[in-house]
Structure 1
Amino acid sequence: MNARVNDEHFEASYLIETPLDPEKVAEIMAGEQSCGTFIRVPGENDDLRARARADIVSVEEVEPVGQASMPSAWLERKAIGGPFRRAHVTIRFPVANVGANLSTLAATVAGNLFDLGEVTGLRLETVSLPRRFREQFCTPSQGVAGTRALLGVPSGPMVGSIIKPNVGLSSDEIARLVGLLCEAGIDFIKDDEIAADPVHAPLAERIPAVMAEVRKREDKLGRKVMVAFNITDETDAMRRHADLVAREGGSCVMASLNWCGFSAIETLRRSTDLVLHGHRNGYGAFSRHEALGIGFSAYQTLWRLAGVDHMHVHGLKGKFAQPDAEVIEGAQACLSKLTPDGIDDRVLPAFSSGQWAGTVPATWDAIKSEDVLFMAGGGVMGHPGGPSAGIESIREAFAAMRAGETLEKRAQTAASLREALDFFGAV
């Protein structure tokens, strides 16, 4: 195994499951995703292999499992059964095989590997890039610092909420709700992922109506609330709608990353300097099985190369299936540079799903930072004192963390937090 690392290669790490020798399977993976195939073919000479072949960096076997995670017709035809061995595999690929092509980078580190007959489980865990290769791809337009500047929130958490009901409201109804949230002192508002350009609230009508409400409150607040308009669509429509947001004085657009694809997001990034709020809806299809799919570290690396400014990480103690450890790992990854010696390409982790003041301590303990977009739907709109009290309760919870206090102690002098704890109950 060759452990050479330089600017000419990038690496990907995997968890594999197979009844075969993991080292032999790693060789198959390296060949399949570079210059090889299942047999050596004419033209695949030693010189070409030296230039284009992927190399195995390491194979570290872990505990086997008694039952296959996935079926394989290839193994069944060969009557090969368990036990099923698991191993962490790291493979190094030549940069020259890919170039500055994000879709092909993804096809190289993932692609047909998930279909290999030799494996009964395969999960892409990390993607690591050399600095000069990373710098050939898109970067955030605003990132953490730019978002703070646009929000007028130089310190503390950035508190957000989501338009609810998800769909069905008219443009005027949405605008009135945005106005209410602005009056309450919110920092950030976003559309739901399933509310993009519906007949009852088309973007061409909704964007001007909403931004009119935002502008009305700008003088009073001394800042402009950021609204993430969901412009998920085909590429040309997204660019048109981003242009409309910019003309109306908006600062942010949102897109459903998995369904738009790398190319559309890259094109959008290159055509606007608006904050790009990356929504990961559907990511569970890639991640929920421990031995299949794409881990968040690798996932967020690829999408950050498309130039997003914000990444959803879900929420701690929230309503979704991801364990808290995965949410924490995701937030920490977003707040770290992709290459330690490279450009500052950190992105803002967006916490959501069942969040309220009571989930703030877990968030604080996890990342010890207020560089978070903390979004609460019911935690703001459902607070018994109204949206203003809901927002204040979250800020009070973060203030308690900064001061080293418990929520209960802070609640003795913070009525909004007391109401939240009494109303929403135990975390």
Structure 2
Amino acid sequence: MNNENIEASYIVETPMDPARVAAAMAGEQSSGTFVRVAGETDELRSRAAAEVLEVTELDPVEEPSLESAYLERKAVFGPYRRARVRIAFPVANIGSNLPTLAATVAGNLYDIGEITGLKLLSLRIPQAYRSRYQMPSMGIAGTRARLGVMDRPLFGTIIKPNVGLRSDEIADLVETLCEAGVDFIKDDEVCANPDHAPIAERVPAVMARIRAYRDRSGRDVMMAFNITDETDAMRRHADLVRAEGGSCVMASLNWCGLSGMETVRDHTDLAIHGHRNGFGAMSRHPLLGMAFDAYQALYRLAGVDHMHVHGIGGKFVDAADEVEAAARRCIAPLAFDGAGSDDRVMPAFSSGQWAGTLPRTYQAVASSDFLFMAGGGILAHPGGPAAGIRSLRQSWDAIGAGQPLPAWARKAPELGAALDFFGK
């Protein structure tokens, strides 16, 4: 691959010749349009034109995935041919500009009239281009170092109920969770700056408990405060978290956007916990939107430290192999030639997780470098939050011993209670 290009892979559906459509895609997103224009010299095209690298046809279908008024006007109908397409875009067209990178590899492609389906699958980025952007502040290694946890996954949870608790009630719950032995706590994505727990009040209240626990126990707990807001407010919120001794902020990536996340990264060295809520809108349709591989590349260039991947066997729609692929992508270097640069981000598993889903999660990642968040799996454990945390640690012990959970549970009562309660 040319280090002066970014390579994007797609799946495309069209009743036209896929090779001609791929050429139109390359032209639309680089130096061309539907007709050659004045000033479009051969020299300019040699520098700035995107190049179609591959078109591999797949099985056609009889019905279109999406409607196109353009094709209806032209009276062009099926069969609808599908193809995998790879296009190389010159880095020089984009510069160090993350929104423009997104506009280049996606943008108007979704609106091309000849297309009845298009999904951006992945991006291949050279290390020279990756180096133009911010690295994670903590990433995997820094998050582990901050918490002093080196030999197992990080066990975390989410403030529940999602929204409605007042600041002092959240602080009480955080203290309980710290005493229970949790490593990581995060706000829910819908709790950012509510009237009943404004962030200016919530952060000091919660951090007072975390600092007291830190002083008392010598053990730190990372709290990801949801600072999702307009950009200036997010900077103020991050400053407050830092002033109170915090180490992590959380943001809803899709609603803050690439520019917003870059601004936060430039402003603070706190860990950024990237929550992907809303990603299903761009990923669930097989012939529309963006796959996780491309999505994570864009937000890793924005400098996040943790990235949500959902959970295996949880309450969301993701198949186990999708979650596995997402997690493994997070713990690999972003650039295809970036083996010497540690820009890995910590995959964050959540949604219906508990002690019984930990073995499959570990198998998926093939590493202990992940954040395992159990909301109900900790808070709803019949023995209480401390028992919920112990059940996770006991499940990890069983994995280390190569023992099935039911056998290990005979000497691990909290794990046994979790199997009895959640396993049903």
Q: TM-score range by the shorter chain?
A: over 0.9
2:86 to 87, 90, 94: 90
Instruction: Specify the alignment match of 2:416 in structure 1.
Output: 418
Matched, 1:170 2:166: yes
Matched, 1:105 2:101: yes
Deviation at 1:220, TM superposition (A): 3.6
The 8 Å contact of residues 185 and 223 in structure 2, kept in 1 or not, is answered as yes
1:124 to 98, 120, 124: 120
Identity over aligned pairs, percent: 63
Letter in 2 for 1:330: A
Instruction: Specify the alignment match of 2:280 in structure 1.
Output: 284
Deviation at 1:89, TM superposition (A): 0.3
- CA displacement, residues 336-359 of structure 1 (integer Å, 9 cap, x when unaligned): 001254221000000000000111
The 8 Å contact of residues 147 and 219 in structure 2, kept in 1 or not, is answered as yes
1:17 to 13, 17, 20: 13
In 1, Cα distance between the equivalents of 2:86 and 2:143?
35
Matched, 1:31 2:27: yes
Letter in 1 for 2:80: F
TM-score normalised by length of structure 2: 0.98
Task: Classify the secondary structure of the residue corresponding to 2:113.
Answer: coil
Instruction: Specify the alignment match of 2:405 in structure 1.
Output: 407
TM-score normalised by length of structure 1: 0.98
2:302 to 297, 300, 306: 306
Which segments of 5 or more consecutive residues in structure 2 lack a partner in the other structure? none
Matched, 1:391 2:389: yes
Instruction: Specify the alignment match of 1:133 in structure 2.
Output: 129
Which segments of 5 or more consecutive residues in structure 1 lack a partner in the other structure? none
Instruction: Specify the alignment match of 1:50 in structure 2.
Output: 46
Instruction: Specify the alignment match of 1:296 in structure 2.
Output: 292
In 1, Cα distance between the equivalents of 2:153 and 2:388?
14
- CA displacement, residues 355-398 of structure 1 (integer Å, 9 cap, x when unaligned): 00111121122112111100011000000011011111112112
The 8 Å contact of residues 126 and 337 in structure 2, kept in 1 or not, is answered as no
Deviation at 1:59, TM superposition (A): 0.6
2:76 to 56, 80, 96: 80
Task: Classify the secondary structure of the residue corresponding to 1:65.
Answer: coil
Deviates more, 1:317-326 or 1:30-39: 317-326
Deviation at 1:315, TM superposition (A): 0.3
Deviation at 1:405, TM superposition (A): 1.2
1:375 to 360, 373, 376: 373
- CA displacement, residues 243-278 of structure 1 (integer Å, 9 cap, x when unaligned): 110010000000000000111110100111000000
Instruction: Specify the alignment match of 2:152 in structure 1.
Output: 156
Task: Classify the secondary structure of the residue corresponding to 1:189.
Answer: strand
In 2, Cα distance between the equivalents of 1:55 and 1:172?
58
The 8 Å contact of residues 157 and 395 in structure 1, kept in 2 or not, is answered as no
Instruction: Specify the alignment match of 1:66 in structure 2.
Output: 62
Instruction: Specify the alignment match of 1:235 in structure 2.
Output: 231
In 1, Cα distance between the equivalents of 2:336 and 2:64?
38
Letter in 2 for 1:164: K
Instruction: Specify the alignment match of 1:328 in structure 2.
Output: 324
Deviation at 1:402, TM superposition (A): 2.1
The 8 Å contact of residues 185 and 221 in structure 1, kept in 2 or not, is answered as no
Instruction: Specify the alignment match of 2:359 in structure 1.
Output: 361
Matched, 1:252 2:252: no
Task: Classify the secondary structure of the residue corresponding to 2:123.
Answer: strand
Letter in 2 for 1:334: C
Deviates more, 1:212-221 or 1:275-284: 212-221
The 8 Å contact of residues 125 and 336 in structure 2, kept in 1 or not, is answered as no
In 1, Cα distance between the equivalents of 2:217 and 2:344?
28
Letter in 2 for 1:131: Q
The 8 Å contact of residues 327 and 365 in structure 2, kept in 1 or not, is answered as yes
Matched, 1:194 2:187: no
In 2, Cα distance between the equivalents of 1:9 and 1:203?
43
Deviates more, 1:61-70 or 1:179-188: 61-70
The 8 Å contact of residues 162 and 190 in structure 2, kept in 1 or not, is answered as yes
The 8 Å contact of residues 190 and 228 in structure 1, kept in 2 or not, is answered as yes
In 1, Cα distance between the equivalents of 2:412 and 2:367?
22
Task: Classify the secondary structure of the residue corresponding to 1:39.
Answer: coil
The 8 Å contact of residues 235 and 267 in structure 1, kept in 2 or not, is answered as yes
Deviation at 1:79, TM superposition (A): 0.9
The 8 Å contact of residues 126 and 336 in structure 2, kept in 1 or not, is answered as no
2:348 to 344, 347, 350: 350
Deviation at 1:7, TM superposition (A): 1.7
In 1, Cα distance between the equivalents of 2:63 and 2:359?
39
Instruction: Specify the alignment match of 1:318 in structure 2.
Output: 314
In 2, Cα distance between the equivalents of 1:221 and 1:152?
13
- CA displacement, residues 5-47 of structure 1 (integer Å, 9 cap, x when unaligned): 3221110000001111110000000000001011111111111
Deviates more, 1:158-167 or 1:335-344: 335-344
Task: Classify the secondary structure of the residue corresponding to 2:388.
Answer: helix
Q: Please, what is the CA RMSD of the aligned residues?
A: 0.9
Deviation at 1:88, TM superposition (A): 0.5
Task: Classify the secondary structure of the residue corresponding to 1:77.
Answer: helix
The 8 Å contact of residues 318 and 353 in structure 1, kept in 2 or not, is answered as yes
Task: Classify the secondary structure of the residue corresponding to 1:106.
Answer: helix
In 1, Cα distance between the equivalents of 2:400 and 2:82?
43
Alignment coverage as a number of residue pairs: 422
Instruction: Specify the alignment match of 2:334 in structure 1.
Output: 338
